[in-house]
Structure 1
Amino acid sequence: MGVHNVHERVLPVSGAEVGLAIDGLSGAGDRLRPRSDWPPMRLDGPPAPGAAGGHGPVRYTVAAYVPGRWVRFAFHGPRGFDEYTVHPLAPGRTLLRHTPAMRARGWARLTWPPAFRPLDGAVLEDSLDLAERACAGTVGRPARWSRYVRLLRRLVR
């Protein structure tokens, strides 16, 4: 089963400002990975090819990195990637895109649709809220967790 789950947000700031959020991933001032409600991202160094880490049980390595523009993480299993990309649209308007893609096999074929897809969608939207708040000072339309996501989170605890 193929997974390709794009989440994106237009932010009212320059591409360079959004790029700073990518450059700060896993650092003390991380403006992309939510920390209070989700496992924080941890890397064994700043974003750079070869840096290893993960969040919760998910393990990955930085496969590619263009400062201020793009970072791609290669999953240790199942095969796939997770990436943030910055797309300047116009002066003062930038699209931030987050894309996980993988080939779910074995147990992942059974667990992805009912459990991990909704949780992944929720954390990605929370990530974009965090980026919007950091870049614009507010969030125009904050993401809301569904009842199902709240139930899954209670079960995981």
Structure 2
Amino acid sequence: MGVYNVHERLLVARSGEVGALLDTLSSGGDGDALWPHRSWPPMRLDRPLAPGAAGGHGPVRYTVTTYVPSAWVRFAFSGPRGFHGFHEYVVLPVDEERTVLRHTLAMNTGGPARLTWPLVWRPLHDALLEDSLDRAERACTGAVAHPARRGAYTRLLRRLLRRPPGVTGKP
């Protein structure tokens, strides 16, 4: 099954300001101004953001294939099984004062992912990306005009997939 999933936000900010957020990806904890690490599994890479850096978030694994500082980063999937493609953030200047921050996921699914993508991963992915764009908007403007809201199904999935207290390691 082919998947093409796009999330984007028009931000009242110069492209350099939005690009600076992109450059903090995977820096971990409070240093990451774009990834919603407080409410989702943090993005972690085995080295600074650059081609060849490998890691992921939760059970989703990937490697950086392209990185243009302050402009574009692309990650190729290596897991979960059946995810064949990439996801990326790109900074698109509109004019001197406005910039679009876009996240694109493009992949083919195979095996179990043909079912798990639409039933589990897509609702979680969509919620995580909207939270990420909320972070970007808050960082650039100090507020979020229309904060993302999680639907009942997404809240149920998050509850079901939450680790019990005291359990550590990869999910």
- TM-score, normalising length: structure 1: 0.97
Query: Which of the numbers 30, 38, 45 marks the counterpart of 1:43?
Result: 45
Identity %: 64
Computed over aligned residues only, the root mean square deviation of the Cα atoms, in angstroms, reads 0.8
CA offsets 1:45-90 (integer angstroms, 9 cap, x no match):
2211001110001111100010110000011142110100000001
In structure 1, how many angstroms separate the alpha carbons of the residues matched to 2:109 and 2:150? Answer: 24
Deviation at 1:37, TM superposition (A): 1.2
**Unaligned stretches of 5+ in structure 2?**
163-171
Residue of structure 1 in register with 2:106 after alignment: 101
Residue equivalent to 1:20: 20
Of the structure 1 ranges 82-91 and 22-31, higher mean CA displacement relative to structure 2 is found in: 22-31
Please point out which of 109, 113, 122 is paired with 1:117.
122
Aligned partner of 2:60 in structure 1 is 58
Other-structure match for 1:75: 77
Q: What one-letter code is carried by the residue in structure 1 that aligns with 2:152?
A: R
Alpha-carbon distance in 2 for matches of 1:123, 1:134: 17
Question: What residue is the counterpart of 2:151 in the other structure?
Answer: 146
Residue 91 of structure 1 deviates from its aligned partner by: 1.1
SS at match of 2:153: helix
For this pair of structures, how many residues does the alignment match? 157
Q: Report the secondary structure of 2:13's partner residue.
A: coil
Superposed structure 1 runs of 4+ greater than 2 Å apart:
none
Q: Which runs of 5+ in 1 are unaligned?
A: none
The whole-number CA distance in structure 2 between the counterparts of 1:155 and 1:86 is: 34
1:129 pairs with 2:129 = no
1:97-148 CA-to-partner distances (Å, cap 9, x unmatched) read: 0011111100000111111111110000000001111111111100000011
